[in-house]
Structure 1
Amino acid sequence: MNEIPVYILFIVLAVLILMSAFFSSSETGMMSLNRYRLRHMVKSKNRGAMRVDELLNRPDRLIGVILIGNNFVNILASSIATIIAIRLWGDGGIAIATGLLTLVILVFAEVTPKTLAALKPERIAFPASLILKPLLVLLYPFVWLVNAISNGLLRVVGINTGSVGTDLLSREELRTIVTESGAILPTRHKGMMLSILDLEEVTVDDIMIPKHEVIGIDLEESTDDIVKSLQSTQHTRLPVYKSDLNAPVGVLHLRKISRLLMDDDVNKAKIMQQAVEPYFVPEGTPLHMQLVNFQKVRRRMGFVVDEYGDVQGIVTLEDILEEIVGEFTTDYASSSQDIHPQEDGSYIIDGRATIRDINKALKWHLPTKGPKTLNGLITEHLETIPEHNLCFTIGNYRFETVQIKDNLVKTTRVFNMKSNKAKKRILPIPAS
């Protein structure tokens, strides 16, 4: 070493620092790769991705070859720096060399390359795999020895390095990925994907049309009244029942019966020949399951029944699709018969309106766990049926009952106290 010129030692030292930077950036780049994007690129036959994926199948070997190379060049660089310092400044130069080399390695071989690799992992990892893959073959005996010792220590603490995780995403993790996708996904597509993920949490009870709101054909009525109802209805499918919806006998599709309505001798028997048998759906069925069930039985409407077999309402395929793509009307708040906007920023809402419909129409966040309707929410909060009109708050919403009749809160005025218009109109009141 004493015969080697100092400038040659400096050149070797610089090369070793560059090699250290390569190993440091390779390690960070490999570990910072998006595994799902990598799998997509592997399926697309990207050669760089395929090389990296092969290396990552055994992360212990990959880390082993990187650390062997990194530690070797760092130790060798330290030795050469010591020789240079002694030849330039004598024994006192060792401390100077230690301090300077530490700073140089930190800046040029650790922090800078690792930061670059964390920001641009693919640009670092893919080219690095061209060197790391043959290097792994060359140093395999050393890598095997190091891994055998380290893996043995890991087995002592109960960790099996032979199995690589599948990196499966939970529903909430997938939701986070979709939410934070930014401009990669259009806002509408993002909302649809999130709605699909929510289908498991929503049941047919939440979206069904309640029994008292169902429009259908009562076979107890006269034939003329039934024909008039069929001719004037705006729906394509109508449930058919006797006296009460708890006794359904079928479902009529208006397309099948349109020609029959033009005949002079139309009667109930001919009408019922065009009806299909009723399809029943147990209450509490999750929407994602019911969507599959509709597909299996090739139906678009079902009668939701409770544990006693009583009909609670009807659910349609369109109702489920609206949970995914949104309301088919352009402005649900203005078209809903249950929600009436007022000039002061409040809303007069029918007590039978469902909480989910109110939240969707007004972009509110009323609690949905518990009662399904506004009347139910009010009576649960008050723990009684109010006898007189009163005011109270639930969260950020102020309620003023307007009409109470037949043991029900018929209509209520509701303020969103966070809206600018409502803040100018109302004064805060203590929560009841």
Structure 2
Amino acid sequence: MNSVPLWALVLTLAVLILCSAFFAMAETALMAANKHRLRLLAKRGHRGAITTLWLLERTDKLLSLVLIANTLLNAMATALVAALAILLFGHEETVLSIATAVVAFLLIVFAEISPKIIGATYPERIALASSGVLRVLMTAAKPVIWFVNLFVGVVLKVLRIRRGHDLHQHRVSPEELRSIVLEGGNFIPQKHKSILLNLFDLETISVEDIMTPRAQMEALNLALGVDELKHELTTCYHNKLPVYEGEINQIVGILHVRKAVALLNQTDALTIDHFRELLTPAYFIPQDTGVFTQLQYFQENKERLGIIVDEYGEVQGLVTLDDIIEEMIGEFTTSVPGAARSDSFNWDSEGECLLEGSTPLRDINKRLGLAFPLDGPKTLNGLMLEQLQEIPDSPISLKVANCVIEVIQVHDQAIKVIKLKRPLPHKRLA
């Protein structure tokens, strides 16, 4: 030891600390790296990403390598500092204690905390750069890692812990995917982010939430006669219309308006039977069918329109393929009556909004930023009737979800017009 220059010992100590810092930084970076980004880079042929994923698939061996290396390096650094202290100051217990404290401080600051913070700050960059070195070291140290893991396996067996249990069952849940999208920041355009979030919502809503209620359905009644049918066909807004006879629950089929218009132009003496011949079978949907499930059914059955019925077979409304697509990507500019009306409501300058009682609660929550409950009635009228437990016969107001709701007009056993007042922001207590 006396023949070794002092500078060489100090340099060796610095190298040991740097090597220990490398392993700590690389381990933290690998554990914190974004696995989805690494897989994307690996698919593009990035060698560093491929090597990093290879290491992450062998986490037990990787951690064994890092811990063995760090333990040896830290022990060597401690021994070297003790040797330096003895060389310079002799066998003084106080000096040895101070030297031990100094090396512990150096290891904590320069070989643990600082490199791990750096590794967590730049995980992908450091993981990609260090993966090649770690793979070579893991291959070289394979016998040592195997020997150490023999004893680790015995300890885990005694503790009844299965090594690698559930490692391949780590799947990203819909909630985690939603969080990833929300945290996408500037990497995902706002419109794309909105579409992705809407796709997640399709799993939680049913066709009843997005249907056109039967009171607003545009349908043809064969019992009205040919002249009335002609008038309704020339003024309708849709290309496909449900057709019933006498009562809305008696759906007899779906009429393609284009075919009917051609019939009007070609036939002089029209009868109801001419219209019956153009009908196609109606496609019925239970009201609790999930929206995403219904989208798949539409695709499998080559349908674009379905009649929604309840458990008693009574018609509740209808849903179309366009309704589901609009739920995913937003509303289109259409000529549907009420589409413009549903787009137009907003808070006025006084913080009020007039709405029809049939307005869906989901639309209100989206457009006005409210939080009306969606697990019960689907419309504003239904919500009010549930809260009041009766049909009001005079103007009345109440508060639901921090929003004041005022009944303006009641007609035919239903609330027709309602005024909402914007909730005041919560004030924090000093």
TM over 0.5: yes
* Sequence identity (%): 39
- Secondary structure (helix, strand or coil) at the match of 1:91 reads coil
Q: Aligned in 2, Cα 1:344/1:134: closer, same or farther, shift over 3 Å?
A: closer
- Does residue 45 (structure 1) correspond to residue 45 (structure 2)? The answer is yes
- Secondary structure (helix, strand or coil) at the match of 1:188 reads helix
Look up the match of 2:251: 248
What is the aligned counterpart of 1:275 among 279, 283, 288? 279
- Secondary structure (helix, strand or coil) at the match of 1:399 reads strand
- 1:255-313 CA-to-partner distances (Å, cap 9, x unmatched) read 33332221242433333322211000011000000000011111111111111111111
Q: Distance in 1 between matches of 2:198 and 2:192?
A: 10
- Does residue 80 (structure 1) correspond to residue 84 (structure 2)? The answer is no
Q: Distance in 2 between matches of 1:256 and 1:407?
A: 38
The answer to whether the 8 A contact 1:355-1:366 is kept is yes
Look up the match of 1:226: 229
The answer to whether the 8 A contact 2:347-2:368 is kept is no
- 1:1-46 CA-to-partner distances (Å, cap 9, x unmatched) read 2321211111111111111111111111111111121222222221
- Secondary structure (helix, strand or coil) at the match of 2:90 reads helix
Q: Distance in 2 between matches of 1:155 and 1:81?
A: 39
Letter matched to residue 353 of structure 1: T
The answer to whether the 8 A contact 1:303-1:314 is kept is yes
The answer to whether the 8 A contact 1:333-1:340 is kept is no
Letter matched to residue 383 of structure 1: Q
Q: Distance in 2 between matches of 1:44 and 1:341?
A: 49
Letter matched to residue 240 of structure 1: V
Q: Distance in 2 between matches of 1:333 and 1:187?
A: 23
Letter matched to residue 187 of structure 1: Q
Look up the match of 1:412: 418
Segments of structure 1 that go 5 or more residues without pairing to the other structure are 421-432
Q: Aligned in 2, Cα 1:42/1:136: closer, same or farther, shift over 3 Å?
A: same
- Secondary structure (helix, strand or coil) at the match of 2:115 reads helix
The answer to whether the 8 A contact 2:371-2:401 is kept is no
What is the aligned counterpart of 2:407 among 401, 407, 410? 401
The answer to whether the 8 A contact 2:255-2:280 is kept is yes
Q: Distance in 1 between matches of 2:23 and 2:342?
A: 64
- Does residue 304 (structure 1) correspond to residue 308 (structure 2)? The answer is yes
- Does residue 216 (structure 1) correspond to residue 219 (structure 2)? The answer is yes
What is the aligned counterpart of 2:291 among 282, 287, 294? 287
Letter matched to residue 108 of structure 1: F
What is the aligned counterpart of 1:314 among 311, 318, 325? 318
Look up the match of 2:148: 146
Q: How many residues align?
A: 420
- 1:196-229 CA-to-partner distances (Å, cap 9, x unmatched) read 1111111111111111211111111121221121
Q: CA shift at 1:150, angstroms? A: 2.0
TM-score with structure 2 setting the length: 0.92
- 1:133-177 CA-to-partner distances (Å, cap 9, x unmatched) read 222222222211222222332333343224423431111111111
The answer to whether the 8 A contact 1:211-1:311 is kept is yes
Q: Distance in 1 between matches of 2:342 and 2:197?
A: 24
Q: Distance in 2 between matches of 1:387 and 1:231?
A: 39
Segments of structure 2 that go 5 or more residues without pairing to the other structure are none
Look up the match of 2:240: 237
- Secondary structure (helix, strand or coil) at the match of 1:308 reads coil
Look up the match of 2:205: 202
With 378-387 and 175-184 compared, the bigger mean Cα shift is at: 378-387
RMSD across aligned positions (CA): 2.3
- Does residue 110 (structure 1) correspond to residue 112 (structure 2)? The answer is yes
Q: CA shift at 1:181, angstroms? A: 0.7
- Secondary structure (helix, strand or coil) at the match of 1:220 reads helix
Letter matched to residue 32 of structure 1: A
Look up the match of 1:188: 191
- Secondary structure (helix, strand or coil) at the match of 1:53 reads helix
With 67-76 and 268-277 compared, the bigger mean Cα shift is at: 268-277
The answer to whether the 8 A contact 2:347-2:422 is kept is no
- Does residue 373 (structure 1) correspond to residue 375 (structure 2)? The answer is no
- Secondary structure (helix, strand or coil) at the match of 2:420 reads strand
Q: Distance in 1 between matches of 2:263 and 2:373?
A: 47
TM-score with structure 1 setting the length: 0.91
Q: CA shift at 1:339, angstroms? A: 5.2
